Amino acid sequence: MLHYPLTNLLPVDANGYYGEFGGAYVPEQLKANIDELDKAFRRYVDDSAFNAEFDRLLHDYVGRPTPLYRADKLSEIYGTNIFLKREDLNHTGAHKINNAIGLGLLAKRMGKRRIIAETGAGQHGVAAATVAALLGLECSVYMGAEDVKRQRPNVLRMEMLGATVVPVTSGNSTLNNAVDAALAAWCAAPDETFYLIGSAVGPHPYPEMVARFQSVISFEIKKQLKEMTGRENPDYVIACIGGGSNAAGAFYHFINEPDVKLIAVEAAGKGVETDETAASITQGTATVLHGSRTMVLTDDGGNVREAYSISAGLDYPGIGPLQAHLASIGRTKVVAVDDDAALKGALMLSRTEGIIPALESSHALGALDAVKFGPDDVVVINLSGRGDKDMDTYMKGCII
Ligand SMILES: *Cc1c(COP(=O)(O)O)cnc(C)c1O
């Protein structure tokens, strides 16, 4: 069984700033709870019993380590060496469970009896509901009414697991509004409730906590690459970004290794030049959203604009502060991949490797066309989740 060192390797200061991004912009009534959370996290993240339980659950329950798979046919097509980090093979089908286990264990240690969560595609809702069932916690999941419709199988899974799904009808009824509703529910009962956030977003210390729990991904990649290729650093790591948690995990142990090129793929939707996009780094401005200062899609009046992507897990108008910072200093290269390119990536992976990826992960595959790789390059793509939940969309996208 692997022991995951949850060491802090992030460019974050004591106030939760990543360069000019981050911080903790919360209403007065939540300040004490944020403090309590920060203290508890710092105490338990270095606690050996907490770590042992995290390691054990990731191994026995989640099924880690996930394989690093050399995709031979894909490698041939692109004339390089492509490895897929198989987060799709985790219990519940995506990387979200890594963080849900970490935060769930923390909630339990803090004596909370109820967790709340937001969800877009439903993957985080399922992960949160799963962990709630496992640890004996009550669970309410806030989900945009539009997403409740387009992600029906995941709604049923959450209900089967005993969670209450709360449809949110404000705004365009998607992820952005679900986060607002979850934050409001947390404000209403902060003492008994633990907000189990699903991405590396929100007020400090959430982005840091989520990134550190997801760091298991790159910790494994290093070990596995060393065994498979003799070197632990790839030339490229590619990951899609909604809020930036799977990217944070896949980049984590390489952030301070300048020879590793990091490619962050955001969802262009119908194109970055249109209003129907989720490309918050390419198109956004720096402002405060959901508790932190970050890159956000805004209109001319500076109001938050609704995001659009074919993928419910990526149509969020913001981005975590770590990803905003890494992009602003040029540590990551940001590529925007549109709906059609993502659909094409999904079909290609299905037909060449026999793996149906999540629509979110398909954006990372879509970025393969945007970079010129050399024949000796080692390229790792974080395959953040599986595509079962997206079959309706794939059928409607007429790609079958
Ligand atoms: C939620 C989700 C994402 C986007 O969230 P991040 O926090 O940016 O990782 C990507 N892929 C899958 C499969 C997801 O479920």
pTM here is 0.97
Known active-site residue 96? yes
Distance 242 CA to ligand 1 centre (A): 6
Closest CA to 304 of 321, 282, 284, 324: 284
- CA 115 – CA 341 distance, rounded (Å): 37
pLDDT at position 396: 87
pLDDT at position 313: 86
Known active-site residue 48? no
DSSP 19-48: TTEE-----GGGHHHHHHHHHHHHHHTT-H
Q: Quick one: CA torsion of 195, 196, 198, 204, rounded to 10 degrees?
A: 60
- For ligand 1, atom 5, the nearest C-alpha belongs to 242
Q: Is the peptide bond before 375 cis (omega within 30 degrees of 0)?
A: no
Known active-site residue 118? yes
- CA 246 – CA 319 distance, rounded (Å): 12
Distance 28 CA to ligand 1 centre (A): 30
On whether the CB atoms of residues 191 and 110 are closer than 8 A, the answer is no
In short, whether 325's Cβ falls inside 6 Å of ligand 1 is no
- For ligand 1, atom 14, the nearest C-alpha belongs to 313
Closest CA to 108 of 194, 217, 232, 212: 194
What backbone torsions phi and psi does residue 174 show, to the nearest 5 degrees? -130, -160
Our mutation pick for probing the ligand 1 site, out of 87, 174, 246, counting the most ligand atoms within 8 A of Cβ, is 246
pLDDT at position 400: 53
Rounded to the nearest angstrom, the gap between the alpha carbon of residue 95 and the centroid of all alpha carbons in its chain is 7
In short, whether 320's Cβ falls inside 6 Å of ligand 1 is no
Q: Which residues pair with 118 in a beta bridge?
A: 142
pLDDT below 70 — which residues of the chain?
Answer: 398-400
pLDDT at position 173: 86
- CA 30 – CA 202 distance, rounded (Å): 13
Contacts of 81 (CB under 8 A, 6+ apart): 70, 75, 229, 376, 377, 378, 379
Measured over the CA atoms of residue 8, residue 14, residue 20 and residue 26, the dihedral's sign is positive
Annotated catalytic residue, options 118, 146, 266, 360:
118
In short, whether 249's Cβ falls inside 6 Å of ligand 1 is no
Contacts of 16 (CB under 8 A, 6+ apart): 22, 23, 24, 203, 204, 205, 207, 208, 292, 321
pLDDT at position 150: 81
pLDDT at position 102: 98
In short, whether 243's Cβ falls inside 6 Å of ligand 1 is yes
Distance 265 CA to ligand 1 centre (A): 11
Under DSSP, is residue 355 helix (H, G, I), strand (E, B) or coil?
Answer: coil
Q: How do 138-144 and 164-168 pair as beta strands?
A: parallel
Which atom number of ligand 1 is nearest to the Cα of residue 120? 1
pLDDT at position 172: 83
Our mutation pick for probing the ligand 1 site, out of 86, 240, 326, 337, counting the most ligand atoms within 8 A of Cβ, is 240
pLDDT at position 52: 98
Which atom number of ligand 1 is nearest to the Cα of residue 242? 8
In short, whether 244's Cβ falls inside 6 Å of ligand 1 is yes
Our mutation pick for probing the ligand 1 site, out of 66, 92, 95, counting the most ligand atoms within 8 A of Cβ, is 95
Measured over the CA atoms of residue 222, residue 226, residue 232 and residue 238, the dihedral's sign is negative
Our mutation pick for probing the ligand 1 site, out of 85, 88, 92, 96, counting the most ligand atoms within 8 A of Cβ, is 96
Annotated catalytic residue, options 85, 222, 384, 389:
384
**Tens of pLDDT, residues 16-62:** 999 999 999 999 989 999 999 999 999 999 999 999 999 999 999 99
Separation in Å, CA 348 to CA 357, 363, 399? 10, 12, 10
Distance 296 CA to ligand 1 centre (A): 17
Distance 240 CA to ligand 1 centre (A): 7
